[in-house]
Amino acid sequence: MANVLKLAAAAAVALAFAANAHAADAPGLWPQDDDEPSPQAREYRSGWYLRGDIGYRINRLDHVDVTATVRSHSIGNAVSAGAGAGFKHRWFRGDMTIDYSAPVKVKATTQGAAAQPQYTTSIDTTAILANGYFDLGTWYRLTPYVGAGAGVSYTRTYDYRNTALPNQLVQVGTKWNLAWAAMAGISYRILPRWDIDVGYRYLNLGNAVSAHDSLGNIATFRNISAQEVRVGFRYQLD
């Protein structure tokens, strides 16, 4: 959580610096657009937009279910990337997004086992969400917002290993889940049709399952979630 807060603080400082730099520019240096609305109307700009985002996820896993009692487990962090399209009407925005997270390593050690992991796998995730946001007003081209989303996630495990079974077929395990998100952030109008967006998102992705091992057993990796700092761009089509 401390890493997330540090990243968010650094991003906010960068946005504030950009806003101050823009305020210091001579009027003729800022790109002009004949369609640019008056300052009073900017926060109500409406229309279709496209978006793209990258993020850094600090992942969490509640527990691992296997045939033995798990003593400890861990899951790595990951980089994510996403794209989407949506529509803004005055202070409300809605969009559909798809995000992919790079594979992360999961390790679990059972009771009485040696220090080395007894179960390992790699998990990657894809999330498809419908999102809604409330823009909270615009000051000096800065627009804070809050939002939430719901949809589905697709989790995939591969390279699953149980060290108690050295001779095993390694197959891919997949699962669809309900997914949901809550987010907050701030956007900055860098050009008449372009916004840069820096935000925090909590994302719940559900469970992942392994393929069957040589004894017919599976492992379940329960309640995968992430705290994520994201940076993206939005392009207003209208």
User: What's the length of the chain?
Assistant: 238
Number of independent structural domains in the chain = 1
Expressed as residue numbers, the domain containing 152 is 2-23+45-236
CA–CA separation, 141 vs 232, rounded Å? 16
Residue 183 has a pLDDT of 98
| Residue 30 resides in a domain | no
Nearest partner of 15 among 139, 117, 108, judged by Cα: 139
Q: Residue 182, CB half-sphere, CA atoms under 13 Å: how many?
A: 1
| Residue 135 resides in a domain | yes
Residue 38 has a pLDDT of 47
pLDDT in tens, the chain (238 residues): 445 444 444 444 444 444 444 444 433 333 444 444 444 445 456 799 999 999 999 999 999 998 888 888 999 999 999 999 999 998 999 999 999 999 999 999 887 656 567 888 999 999 999 999 999 999 999 999 999 999 999 999 998 888 878 766 668 999 999 999 999 999 999 998 999 999 999 999 999 999 888 778 889 999 999 999 999 999 999 7
User: CATH number, domain at 166?
Assistant: 2.40.160.20
| Residue 33 resides in a domain | no
| Residue 115 resides in a domain | yes
220, containing H or E segment: strand 220-236
Residue 113 has a pLDDT of 56
Token code pair at residue 85: 């399209």
CA–CA separation, 77 vs 79, rounded Å? 7
Residue 1 has a pLDDT of 47
| Residue 32 resides in a domain | no
Full-model pTM: 0.78
Residue 181 has a pLDDT of 98
